[in-house]
Structure 1
């Protein structure tokens, strides 16, 4: 049975509801219950770890028996496992739901399989409706589930001719205040902010997320990668979170450990060496290039060796958005070539 117009509109609404949920260790999920005539009779979304999942949240708003014969519209395949809450597939079956339309399949080994369980119970199931929109909403969580590492954003600021600093090494500030404020807003939704010891020793960054002089409520965990020692009086030691130090250059080991700690969104804030290393290792999912209308010349490039020796090996990107920020321009892009997954499985 094809997806109906009412179901399509309900999925759009479910995506809006999903966005209300917190970004954390669990995905943002929304659900809408339609009556047999196509009217919305209940809505719900997942409000955080340990709370009812979106489907159960929506069902809880209906009187007993009211869901029998209804259709559940869900942004993510109903789960099929018992964790801190029970399996949503079973809750839908027991409520008498006759049809389920979901957007994106659950990639988890333990939690997937809900669609099969529903079909085995005689529930009509349709998948894929507005999957791209849902995948964009929960891209960080999907990456963590599929690849066993955080979703990684690599950020840099550059002149129009691709330089990160002047010939004498000075770099503050290439971009203007609007661009710098945007960086802090994006830091504030990351779980971790990562630099190398070179940046740590050269700039002594605090690695906080600030709105002016005020700290955002959510702060990313500061992470330092490299074999050189961070001074005991470094600003990072005054961060609200205890810093993580990795005395290694093995980035795959680092991101696997971060994933094991529950970190799903990592923000690479280091200089050209670290940014290039993450891209070369196939560990970049998104890039943020803040481009200032200045020319610097010289050899201090925003990126160095990323393992590309011929044009055929170029790391291909898809530009998602161009964002004007005062006099500067932000290019937001996704890495789309196969090299972006190298070494992550």
Structure 2
């Protein structure tokens, strides 16, 4: 099967319904892992778990959302660029690739404003928003990127306030790419609408798990997912599921 566009992935009617009813963006959580659920080895290395085909497909999905969101841990560990790339991929709208104004908004959830001004996400390849806690000193980012300040929560920042801020900026769909701690917080608060999981036929046995603490303490609280699509992506398997409680 070929790559799914984000429109096919989420369904435009459901996407619009979430935005209209909840006044927040639709949230698509993507992660890539081994068969035993690891997203990085014990020494922290993670490139590359999945195939080149899967990595190319992620750019298609990223391009279909209005914003790409990562946590400060991912920013510090990987220093990602978070732009849509793939000049040689005919499935991509090349106007997005070459025009910074067409690129999705890059968002870093960074409670303590640790993102350095020379980080890759702060370059001029795409617009960037760094979300920090009220009272955090983000003066080093003045004139470099846009900064949004929100209240702290028990775990990190007030994520509903983050999504409200993104909604106010015209963001209707978020591509949540990392890391496991941030994803766990989104899931714990019922803020994930889709899960896209690329599973590589490989084993690590130790290392970082794909999902952090999601506030689930027993089987009675398990978050059930409904499979939307299962397909091959290069050597990997791509699973797409909707969170039942978000319907």
TM-score band by shorter chain is 0.7 to 0.9
Which of 151, 165, 170 is matched with 1:257 structurally? 165
Output aligned runs, 1:207-286, within 5 Å.
207-212=82-87, 215=97, 218-226=102-110, 227-248=112-133, 249-286=157-194
CA offset at residue 299 of structure 1?
Answer: 4.4
CA offset at residue 143 of structure 1?
Answer: 0.9
SS for the counterpart of 1:312 is helix
Matched, 1:205 2:80: yes
| Structure 1 residues 45-94: Cα deviation after superposition (integer angstroms, max 9, x where no partner) | xxxxxxxxxxxxxxxxxxxxxxxxxxxxxxxxxxxxxxxxxxxxxxxxxx
Which of 189, 205, 211 is matched with 1:303 structurally? 211
CA offset at residue 219 of structure 1?
Answer: 1.5
Distance 1:150 1:216, change over 3 A: farther
CA distance in 2, matches of 1:137, 1:153: 13
CA offset at residue 137 of structure 1?
Answer: 2.9
CA distance in 2, matches of 1:181, 1:255: 27
Match of 2:241 in 1: 333
Q: Which runs of 4+ in 1 moved over 3 A?
A: none
Contact 2:74 2:178 in 1 (8 A): yes
Distance 1:216 1:319, change over 3 A: farther
CA offset at residue 190 of structure 1?
Answer: 0.6
CA offset at residue 240 of structure 1?
Answer: 3.4
Which of 149, 154, 157 is matched with 2:24 structurally? 149
Distance 1:313 1:320, change over 3 A: same
Matched, 1:162 2:37: yes
Output aligned runs, 1:1-345, within 5 Å.
136-212=11-87, 215=97, 218-226=102-110, 227-248=112-133, 249-337=157-245, 340=246
Which of structures 1 and 2 has the bigger CA Rg?
1
Q: Give the paired residue count.
A: 207
Structure 2 portions without partners, runs of 5+: 1-6, 89-93, 134-156
CA distance in 2, matches of 1:185, 1:244: 21
| Structure 1 residues 205-238: Cα deviation after superposition (integer angstroms, max 9, x where no partner) | 1110111577266411000102242111111122
Contact 1:293 1:328 in 2 (8 A): yes
Contact 1:153 1:284 in 2 (8 A): yes
